[in-house]
Structure 1
Amino acid sequence: MTDLPAFTKLICRDEEAMARYYGNVYGYGLVQRVEGTSDGEAFREVIMAPGGDWTKGTLVTFNYVDRDAPRDQQVILGFTVADLDATVEKIVANGGKLCGPIREERDHGVRVVFSTDPEGALCENVQMLAAPHAG
């Protein structure tokens, strides 16, 4: 049996708006939309993947149609990005908010900033720093 790539489901109020946000900010493309019931509860979801390629793992924006939106953080979404400054610009331009400034953490080899999407879900955005050259 071959292992399949990982997936993450983000429970949200508006699956379409959140799919647009994650597509615009992180480059996720549509794989498919699903609508149905699970254990008697209606749901809608948008399945996305980097560049629309589900073999790279998926992010699913998931809406329980008849439930209130989640009140508390149920997940922290982590994204490794090539250009943190450009990602910050996209976050703000698409209705997200920064939780603080970009921090450079050389001991961990990263630049990092936390942000929230338009519904308040927490995201950790990480840019890997180049390894120091041996000399």
Structure 2
Amino acid sequence: MQAGKAKFSFTKIIVDDLDRPATFYKAAFGMREMARIQDALTPERPIEEIILTLANDMSSEPPLVLFKFLGEPAPKASDVILGFMVPDVDATVERVRSAGGRVVRAPKDQPEHGVRVAFATDCDGRLLEIVQMLTVPAGH
């Protein structure tokens, strides 16, 4: 990385239960657990994290980090929408459903944007946007 140039490197979501969403994201999106970390922000605020990634390392794609304040409940509201680019929206939506998620909007083609999009929630109710690029016929 060039000196002075920032790079987006990860997303953390605060959860009440680390294992339940880890199981969900592994089953629904094929993510892998890269690491489990136990640390503390301060001596009074211990934390635990699970780092999930779609790649074999954490440098090629930004990981999703599940973050738990030990002894504290996660916030009730979630202002995050997690977006996933996938090769097959319909198959992914079925895996999301099977893993304990809920479909909010069924897959729908949006040819004006060149995508097929579905919205679902994860096992904790967080909104997911699942996107598949549409193929453009040759000559168009």
Q: What is the alpha-carbon root mean square deviation over aligned residues?
A: 1.7
TM-score, normalised relative to structure 1: 0.91
Q: Secondary structure at the match of 1:100?
A: strand
What is the CA distance between 1:5 and its match in structure 2? 6.0
Which residue in the other structure is 1:38 paired with?
41
Between the aligned partners of 2:41 and 2:108, the Cα distance in structure 1 is 41
Instruction: Give the counterpart of 2:19 among 16, 19, 32.
Output: 16
| Deviations 1:52-79 (CA, angstroms, capped at 9, x unpaired) | 4212221111111222222112311000
What is the CA distance between 1:103 and its match in structure 2? 1.3
Between the aligned partners of 1:101 and 1:122, the Cα distance in structure 2 is 13
What is the CA distance between 1:108 and its match in structure 2? 0.8
Between the aligned partners of 1:57 and 1:100, the Cα distance in structure 2 is 26
Q: Which moves more between the two structures, 63-72 or 120-129?
A: 63-72
> Structure 2 stretches of 5 or more lacking a match?
none
Q: Secondary structure at the match of 1:102?
A: strand
Identity of aligned residues (%): 36
- Indicate yes or no: 2:47 matched with 1:49: no
Between the aligned partners of 2:104 and 2:134, the Cα distance in structure 1 is 21
Between the aligned partners of 2:54 and 2:8, the Cα distance in structure 1 is 12
Instruction: Give the counterpart of 2:88 among 83, 88, 109.
Output: 83
> Structure 1 stretches of 5 or more lacking a match?
none
